[in-house]
């Protein structure tokens, strides 16, 4: 499976590419995680030997030049396992950052909002494509409503407002004016 435009998060001047699967689970590019944790990564199986098979998979991504690259991504539990294995200070800081910032944000909002970095064309294009998709979906949903349905909502809104304010003397006077 090829995916493009991963979410890119910066941790202590290191980029960590993250892909969100169909179930909303984050998958981290293991090479990036190892760099942040100061664990040597040569694409070898030694680093990944303690990681369960279901916690890792190969993925094809497109880089900023449009080239396809094969990477290994690991699940959230695998990131923790690698972090906990490392006794280095950077691993502690990384684990704290993941636990305090990234994962709570993904769980609450479905993404980690780092703001829009206008100096990164890939990030800008990714954000614009997300906004265009959201706009198209909202427009499609609105267009599915017929005018009679919109009228029903409006009448219901008027009735609710009327029933809320009918017994308040100030609003009774306003209705008579």
**Residue scoring higher pLDDT (2 or 96):** 96
Instruction: Tell me what the mean pLDDT of segment 52-59 comes to.
Output: 91
Same domain, 164 and 98: no
pTM: 0.51
Contact criterion met (CB below 8 Å) for 55 and 77: yes
Same domain, 65 and 14: yes
Same domain, 156 and 93: no
Helix ranges (DSSP H) in the chain: 30-37, 45-48, 76-85, 89-97, 103-109, 121-144, 147-165, 169-176
Contact criterion met (CB below 8 Å) for 61 and 19: yes
Residue 21 lies in a domain: yes
**Residue keyed to tokens 């699967």:** 21
> Which pLDDT value is given to residue 54?
92
55 confidence band (pLDDT: 50, 70, 90): very high
Instruction: Tell me what the mean pLDDT of segment 19-46 comes to.
Output: 82
Count Cβ atoms below 10 Å from residue 93 Cβ, excluding itself: 15
Least confident range from 33-42, 49-58, 111-120, 166-175: namely 166-175
Task: Kindly report, residue by residue over 138-177, the tens digit of the pLDDT.
Answer: 666 655 555 555 555 555 555 555 555 555 554 444 455 4
Task: Kindly report, residue by residue over 67-116, the tens digit of the pLDDT.
Answer: 888 899 999 888 888 887 777 787 777 778 877 888 888 888 777 765 66
Nearest residue to 82 (alpha-carbon basis) of 46, 57, 107, 54: 46
For β-strands 56-62 and 2-3, DSSP reports them as parallel
Structure tokens at 127: 């954000």
Query: Residue 5, class by beta-carbon neighbours within 10 Å (0-12 exposed, 13-18 middle, 19+ buried)?
Result: middle
Beta-bridged to residue 60, according to DSSP, are: 2, 70
Same domain, 154 and 97: no
Which residue range(s) make up the domain with 162? 145-176
Same domain, 149 and 68: no
pLDDT of 1 > 70? The answer is no
Contact criterion met (CB below 8 Å) for 56 and 73: yes
The number of residues in the chain equals: 177
Domain count, the chain: 2
Same domain, 109 and 152: no
Query: Residue 39, class by beta-carbon neighbours within 10 Å (0-12 exposed, 13-18 middle, 19+ buried)?
Result: middle
Same domain, 109 and 150: no
What does the longest C-alpha to C-alpha distance in the chain come to?
Answer: 82
Same domain, 85 and 164: no
Residue 118 lies in a domain: no
């Amino acid at each position: 499976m090829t995916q493009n435009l991963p979410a890119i998060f910066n941790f202590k001047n290191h980029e960590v590419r993250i892909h969100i699967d169909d179930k909303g689970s984050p998958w981290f590019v293991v090479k990036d995680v190892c760099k942040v944790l100061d664990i040597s990564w040569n694409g070898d199986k030694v680093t990944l030997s303690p990681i369960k098979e279901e916690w890792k998979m190969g993925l094809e991504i497109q880089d900023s030049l449009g080239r396809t690259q094969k990477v290994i991504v690991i699940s959230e539990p695998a990131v923790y396992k690698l972090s906990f294995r490392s006794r280095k200070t950077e691993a502690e800081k990384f684990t704290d950052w993941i636990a305090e910032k990234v994962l709570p944000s993904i769980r609450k909002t479905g993404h980690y909002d780092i703001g829009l970095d206008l100096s990164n064309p890939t990030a800008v294009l990714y954000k614009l494509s997300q906004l265009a998709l959201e706009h198209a979906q909202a427009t499609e949903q609105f267009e599915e409503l017929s005018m009679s349905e919109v009228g029903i909502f409006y009448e219901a809104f008027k009735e609710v407002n009327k029933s809320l304010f009918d017994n308040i003397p100030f609003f009774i006077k306003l209705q008579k004016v």
